[in-house]
Amino acid sequence: MSDFIKQQVLPHFGIEIDAKVSPLGNGHINDTYLVRGEHAEMVLQRINTEVFKTPNALVNNAQKIAQHLRQKRQCAEYHLKVVSPLMTQDHQLAVDLADNGFWRAINYLPNSHSIDVVGDEQQAQAAAKAFGHFSQALSDFDAEQIDDVIPQFHHLPGRITQLEQAVAHNSKQRLADCQQWVDFALTQQGLLKELSDIESQLPKRICHNDTKINNMLFDKRDMSSMAIIDLDTCMKGHLMYDFGDMVRTFCSPEEEDSTNLSNVQVRENIFAAICQGYLSELSSVLTEAERKSLWLGAKIICLMIGVRFLTDHLNGDVYFNIHHENHNLERAANQFTLYKSLLANEAKLKKHLS
């Protein structure tokens, strides 16, 4: 792949073909590379067009959001660095090589550092504050300018239907091995009623929609917050899901695919730090209903990603990249375990939101 990139992709971005190309990060959908040329560094991505069926809309969205954040930064209203699309030599936001991929580039931030597991409250609070600051800066952005690149992305009813369909087809004969998790997931549909009770009261805002801990970059020199990255799923939605995805990815002491399930649990001190950091930035923006919805957002996101991993396992791993057999099943088991820990600790955790 590296030779192909050097010869066929880099010239479009004006980078010499003897640049160094190495894989970067651990996203589950797109292929991401760090390109180091003699005079320039950049992040290069091949967009998965099975998942993002309108990749031009994706790069246009990212461009508009980056532009808004840059303007805010100029007025000292946004304090993080901004990742922006890099134009091709033809002044385009991407290169479409048809069967050979849809490629886009973004500026690389020197001295940046990402983590996969939160180490302490300071990290959790700083990252939650950064995601809150990001949403705060976008709160006056016209949401109608942004296309829905994945319609009904955080849509629990639709995700449950997809699981039911995967179960009905059982195309890879994997149901027997995961029947217990299917049964568990399908007993949790009380969340649908909780959702429909509040959803109509929630404003639609531009959300990040993938607030994983590794989508916030720290400055490795002092571990201060540097940037929010991965703007691919920025779309209209409800902020409770951004809160929920932080809870999902910050609170557990284990990575999302760890099989050490006895250690998968919600750390209360980290949950409290997320609440403090996030609300310190957004308290003047959030409506009363949004504030009330945050706990539900945490439950829905943990359950829903478990449902999505389980669905993909049943479908034969066609959506999320996997690194070994049963990887999606392991991820699902991990996330359902985390969800159970949330439920078991509801009373004490919710206090941190009041």
Residues that bind ligand GN1 (CB under 6 A): 27-29, 51, 210, 212, 230, 233, 256, 305
Residue 333 interaction partner, one of Mg ion, ligand GN1, none, beta carbon < 5-8 Å per kind: none
Residue 51 interaction partner, one of Mg ion, ligand GN1, none, beta carbon < 5-8 Å per kind: ligand GN1
Which residue is listed with tokens 């799923």? 233
Of 176, 152, 204, the closest CA to residue 308 belongs to 152
Closest distance of CB 37 from ligand GN1, Å? 25
Closest distance of CB 216 from ligand GN1, Å? 12
Closest distance of CB 304 from ligand GN1, Å? 9
Task: Give the span between the Cα atoms of 104 and 109, in whole angstroms.
Answer: 16
Nearer to ligand GN1, 51 or 282 (CB): 51
Task: Give the span between the Cα atoms of 329 and 247, in whole angstroms.
Answer: 21
Q: Does 242 bind Mg ion (CB under 5 A)?
A: no
Closest distance of CB 190 from ligand GN1, Å? 22
Q: Does 256 bind Mg ion (CB under 5 A)?
A: no
Nearer to ligand GN1, 51 or 239 (CB): 51
Q: Does 281 bind Mg ion (CB under 5 A)?
A: no
Q: Does 121 bind Mg ion (CB under 5 A)?
A: no
Nearer to ligand GN1, 34 or 285 (CB): 34
Task: Write the single-letter amino acid at 35.
Answer: V
Of residues 182-241, which lie at the interface with Mg ion (CB under 5 A)? 210, 230
Nearer to ligand GN1, 29 or 342 (CB): 29
Contact criterion met (CB below 8 Å) for 244 and 275: no
Interior CA angle at 59 toward 55 and 64, to 5°? Answer: 145
Q: Is 168 helix (H, G, I), strand (E, B) or coil?
A: helix
- The H or E element containing residue 287 is none
Contact criterion met (CB below 8 Å) for 320 and 335: no
**Contact letters (x/-) for Mg ion, 137-176, by CB under 5 A?**
----------------------------------------
- 44 beta partners: 33, 105
Contact criterion met (CB below 8 Å) for 259 and 319: no
Of residues 292-331, which lie at the interface with Mg ion (CB under 5 A)? none
Helices (H), 44-171: 55-74, 121-138, 156-169
Q: Is 101 helix (H, G, I), strand (E, B) or coil?
A: coil
Q: Which residue is nearest to ligand GN1 (CB)?
A: 27
Residue 256 interaction partner, one of ligand GN1, Mg ion, none, beta carbon < 5-8 Å per kind: ligand GN1
Closest distance of CB 29 from Mg ion, Å? 6
Closest distance of CB 199 from Mg ion, Å? 23
Nearer to ligand GN1, 121 or 232 (CB): 232
Q: Retrieve residue 280's tokens.
A: 């310190």
Nearer to Mg ion, 121 or 242 (CB): 242
Task: Give the span between the Cα atoms of 157 and 191, in whole angstroms.
Answer: 10
Compute CA distances 160 → 57, 123, 166, 298, 314, whole Å: 27, 33, 10, 17, 13
* Residue numbers at the binding site for Mg ion (CB under 5 A): 210, 230
